[in-house]
Structures are given as C-alpha cells and as structure tokens.
Amino acid sequence: MLRRVNVWLFYAFTLVALQACGGCEDEAPAPAPLPTNDGGTDERDEERDAELPVEIPDAGNLYPGEPPEELEGQLCAADTNKVYELVSGTSDAQPALLAVDGIRNRFGMAFVSAAGAECSTSVQFAELYGVPGAHEPEPMLAYDGCTLIERAAIARGTDHWLLAIVDNRMESRDLWVHAFDPESGDTVATHRVTENMANEGSVAFLPLDDERILVAWSESAFDGTGSSLRVQVLSGEGEPTGEPVEIEPASTTFYTALTTTRLGNTNDEETPLFIGLAYKRDDSEGNAAFVLDVLHFETLERDRDPWVLTTTPGAFGSIDLDSDNNGGGVVYTVEEGISKQVWFQQLGNNGRAAPVMRGNVVGGPSEPSRVIGNPELGIDVSLAKLPIGFVIAYRGLPSVAVPQAQVRTFFLDRNGERFGQSAVALAEEGGGQTAIEVANDGRAVLSWTDTAEDGSSTLRALVVPCVGN
C-alpha cells in the first residue's frame, strides 16, 4: 500500500543517521559490492538516492529512553522499560506471529503458550499500537479447548482478526480458523479447514484483497510417510471457499517454515499478480533446502518450477518473505561448520531475481548475497519491506563482533545493498524465529521468544525505535 509522505521522509532520516554512524558499530566493515550476473561486481552508486532529501539532521532514536548499558550508542536500541513481556516463565511459549491491521494501523500477535491456560496449551492474542509505552499489550485467551495445540497464525480479515489453529479437538490434528474480536474477547465464528485424519503442520496466512485470505499449510500423514503442501482461499471471515490446491503431493519430503507474500504491482492493471510461497524442504535422505514457489494469483497453481534458493548443503532454521508494489525479497539462514549466516535475495514483481542496478542502468539478474557472516553469527531471521528498502531482524549470537546474544536489525537499500545495522535488545541464545512487521504509518513491531538455560521461555515485543514517523 502507499504510505504517507512523512513516512518516506523518516526513512530518509534513518538512512542518513545509519550512514552517518557507520551502522552504529565500531569499525564497521565497508558494504560489500553487489554481485552481477556476469561474475563481476557493481560498485556503490552514490547518485542512486539523489531524489531523497539530503539536508536532513540526524534523526537519531525516535523514542529515546534508557536502553541497556551494553547497547548504549546503538541507534535502534530500545528502552528497557518499553520491551513488553507478553508471557514469561513457561516452557511452552512459541514465537509470536505478527499481522497488521492496515485500516487502524494496529499490530496483532498470536502465539501458543501454556501460561494462563486451564489445560496444557492455549492460543493467546494481543494487540499493539501507538508509540512505545503508549499502549502495553495485554494478552487475552483466544482459544483453550483443553486440546493439544501445535500451531497458530494470524491475519486481519474483513472485520475481525483471523487465527489459524492446528489442534486435536476432533479425532485428528486439523486446521481451524477462528474470527476473533478483541473488543469483546470472543470468537465470533469458527471454521474447520481440513477433515482428513492427518496431522497439519506449518501454516501461513496471506490477505489477497479486502474479502479473501489465502491459507497455506503442510499436511503430514499419521504413519510418518511424509507430507504434502496445500493452499486454499478463505472468505474475509475465514470460511473456506472452493477446494484446496495441492502444490506438492504426499511424499517422504517434509515442508516447514512456510511464509507467503503477494507479488506484483496492484496499481498496474496490465501486469499480472502472483503469490510467493517460501518454505524449508527436507527430503528422506537428510537433504535440506530453502525453496520459493510462485503461484498464479487467481488459480493458485504453480506458475513455474520451484526455485531452490540454497544449492549447497547448510540450509537450516528460518526463512521469510515480504514485498510491496516495487518488488520484494527473501531472507534465510545457512550453516557452514560453526558459521551461521544470513542470506538475502532481492525479487522483482514477477518473483524472479531482481535486476542489478547501476544508477539508471538495468543489468542482469541479481545473485543471493550474504548479509551476515563471519565474524558475526546470525539466526532466527525475519524480513519486512520498507519504502526505500528492507529491514532484517535476527538473533545475533555471541561472537567476536557481538559479545552477547542480541536481537538486531540490518537495513538494506532499495537495490539490496547494506547501509546500516544496530542492536535492538539483549536476548538469550535460543527461542525461535523473530517476527517483524511494518504498518502503513511506518511504525515497525518486532517480537521474539527468549529461552533460558533452564528451559523457561519469555515472549517479548517492542516498537522498533528507529523505524516509524
């Protein structure tokens, strides 16, 4: 969606501030050249952002406060008192999934936790809005049917928040969708999506328009023989419409870490729209890869063969995908020995590699680039598209570059080149994937779970201090 002019101005503020402080890192390395399709490199083009305002003061931290002493001087470091704890002291808290209410510019969070539940697990919901400290999110029980709940996902429907829940309330572990009203705390509608005596796994939502939602999920057989990958369109209130489309038939391959985005320019009626579906694929021989599928927007059928993003061993952990009318990107993690790396591939509106840009000259297709690598260690990545580029959130593990575990942000410009990074908050070394989303007014929310050595988990969320208006 289009964002207001002042949001564009703020991102220019942030760009100048990050460049001015060198990413707010001591002796930060120079940005790597952008790879080209001919094996060469594309030098940084200082004129590419000439249309952005240049005489802008250092914006600094929009919401100054008291970050931890260890993070003083970091542009994006959050006030310790404005890092919200949604749930703590549980061994079952899963990372929260985020969604944006584009009309009200609110963030919805859904997560599975044992805290506050009468039975083993529950799905909880929280809304977050305003500047840091203006509204502390208050988790509320969205579903507790005394069942084994394994997954939860969230999207904004036509009139309510939609929660996708995988549980065993019936004879199998099926996928259900709840339309939830936070004002009353009630579920106003419930729809069963699958009735197949199977075990549904990873699930993801994608709003297609004001009245349709896409749900994607993996489906595993009880006998452990593998899984299939499916998608289906729901109404704006979560009711299944039509029949599910099978993207991958049942086999001994497993599909996890599903993430989706809409590809294409919604303001250009002459160009087609697509759906991007990315996931981690594990076959029966122990081979893992991150894969991107591009589907037709209306039929949901594959437009082309799957794109295997990782062509060498080492795919592990998480993958995330995001886009707007100007293109998108996909970020994922790769492990090589003790090295834990974050890689990024920029995408065009058609879901193929975006072209390399040299000023106003369009080159060949871009290559994947490593944005986090030795001496830094990065895991648990998530991605959000900004008007002038991208923000990557990740968990930085202790290393020569990062003395203790932190949740961090990494900024890329519109051509996929690095222009800054900063710590946001101190963290534990484990807990699962981060989640970051950006609202139409420019504010960003970041959520993650910290799992301590004793196994207890704390789910945290904050408004990112250096992104917003």
pLDDT of residue 169: 85
Average pLDDT for residues 424-434, to the nearest whole number? 95
Q: Is the pLDDT of residue 271 over 50?
A: yes
Q: Is the pLDDT of residue 332 over 90?
A: yes
pLDDT of residue 94: 80
Convert the pLDDT of each residue in 79-106 to its tens digit: 988 999 998 877 667 888 999 998 888 9
pLDDT of residue 45: 33
Average pLDDT for residues 156-166, to the nearest whole number? 95
Convert the pLDDT of each residue in 348-377 to its tens digit: 999 999 999 877 888 899 999 999 999 999
pLDDT of residue 91: 66
Note if the bond before 31 is cis, omega within 30 degrees. no
Asked if 247 contacts 299 with a C-beta cutoff of 8 angstroms, the reply is: no
pTM listed for this prediction: 0.87
Q: Among all chains, which residue has been given the structure tokens 């209410």?
A: 101
Average pLDDT for residues 33-42, to the nearest whole number? 32
Structure tokens at 290: 């991150």
Q: Tell me how far apart the 2 most distant CA atoms of the chain are, in Å.
A: 64
Asked if 77 contacts 424 with a C-beta cutoff of 8 angstroms, the reply is: yes
pLDDT of residue 149: 87
Residue 228 to residue 255: CA distance in whole angstroms: 8
pLDDT of residue 226: 76
Regarding beta strands 161-167 and 288-296, do their DSSP bridges make them parallel or antiparallel, or are they unpaired? unpaired
Q: By mean pLDDT, which of 36-45, 274-283, 308-317 is the weakest?
A: 36-45
| Mean pLDDT of the residues in the chain | 84
Q: Is the pLDDT of residue 30 over 70?
A: no
Q: Among all chains, which residue has been given the structure tokens 């890689």?
A: 343
In this prediction, residue 6 has a pLDDT band, given cuts at 50, 70 and 90, of: very low
Asked if 3 contacts 12 with a C-beta cutoff of 8 angstroms, the reply is: no
Convert the pLDDT of each residue in 384-424 to its tens digit: 999 889 999 999 999 998 999 999 999 999 888 888 899 99
Q: Is the pLDDT of residue 54 over 90?
A: no
Convert the pLDDT of each residue in 124-137 to its tens digit: 999 998 877 778 89
The neighbour count for residue 102, using CB atoms within 10 Å, is: 14
